[in-house]
Amino acid sequence: MEVSRRSFLHFAAASVIPTPLFAQSIGPRIVSLDYGLASTLLSLGLPPVGISDLADWDRWVVEPPMPKSVVDIGSSFEVNFEILVTLKPDIILTTPYLDELLPKLQSVAKVVRLEIFTPGIGPILTAAIAATRKLAVELGRENEAEQFLARADVFFAQCRSRLEGKNLPPVALVNFMDARHARIYSSPGLFHNVLERIGVRNAWTRESNYWGFETIGIEDLSKVTDPDARLIAFDPIPPDVLPKLAQSPLWNRLSFARPGHLSILPPALMFGMVNEAMRFAGLLTDLLEKEA
């Protein structure tokens, strides 16, 4: 079988640093204004030409890594249209969150609007899977999408079976905002859905907003009454939080303060889609497996 020059170039380009040529040479030119949609594009084999907030990708999403060829088009609230038009996109992916930009985006290229985080949509993971399929239909990548979703299913099932039969504690998932406040994640959020999929109980039972989080004072953590409950905090944690908590008698009385009941996970994006759900599932399963 002869290797065509083009596929060889592809291979070469993919193995060293991807150049803009590589990004341009396949499929439509897509710009994504949402982290979750951007990582889904990577899984569908259509890397975007530009995404918003690229500067913070490594801090919040981490994986899958964005190819070097992708251009930063500024913050998602204030997409830099000067750069956007220069990228000549064919398709722009957006969410209801950015609806006020719609008319302006539509004057640049075809806009595909996918609903994931909207009031009343229900469990976010289900919505994210539906959005992935819808996106695939728009881009003519149904096969890749089904393969990707099947991979995700297998992965969740693997996580579930790895944890099966272990005496799993219920977990509370938080981001510490400062030494006195945290965001805690629950139904209908993405992370809560992941917990359900891999068979872990969420210790925080109260429903939250449609983004899947609520802001609480640290003292509210006392509402978690299960003595075995585990507190899982995501990085980044502000530097003064843990020392301050250590001084608090209330904190020290909570079951979370007992050794081994507080774990810190690397950052995972709580407002993402299937990739982010998988990343979180993997991180959590590794952690619980190690500690069980």
Instruction: Determine which residue in the list 119, 249, 259, 260 makes contact with other proteins, applying CB under 8 A.
Output: 249
CA angle 185, 38, 122 (to 5 degrees): 40
Binding flag, residue 283, other proteins (CB under 8 A): no
Q: Please list, in sequence order, all residues whose beta carbon lies within 8 angstroms of the beta carbon of residue 222, skipping any fewer than 6 positions away.
A: 250, 254
Binding flag, residue 4, other proteins (CB under 8 A): no
CA angle 30, 110, 25 (to 5 degrees): 30
Piece of the chain touching other proteins by CB under 8 A; list 54-62, 145-153, 162-170, 273-281: 54-62
Shortest distance, position 253 Cβ to other proteins, whole Å: 5
Rule CB under 8 A: which of 57-96 touch other proteins? 59-60, 71-75, 77-78, 80-83, 85-87
Alpha helices in 70-217 (DSSP H): 81-86, 102-106, 124-139, 142-163, 190-198
Residue for token pair 């899977």? 129
Local structure of 43: helix, strand or coil: helix
Cβ closest to other proteins, residue 165 vs residue 217? 217
Rule CB under 8 A: which of 206-235 touch other proteins? 206, 209, 211, 213-219, 222, 225
Distance CA 208, CA 215 (A): 9
Distance CA 133, CA 38 (A): 14
Shortest distance, position 86 Cβ to other proteins, whole Å: 5
Applying CB under 8 A, the residues found at the interface with other proteins are 55-56, 59-60, 71-75, 77-78, 80-83, 85-87, 97, 100, 103-104, 177-178, 180-181, 183, 206, 209, 211, 213-219, 222, 225, 236, 238-240, 243-245, 247-251, 253-254
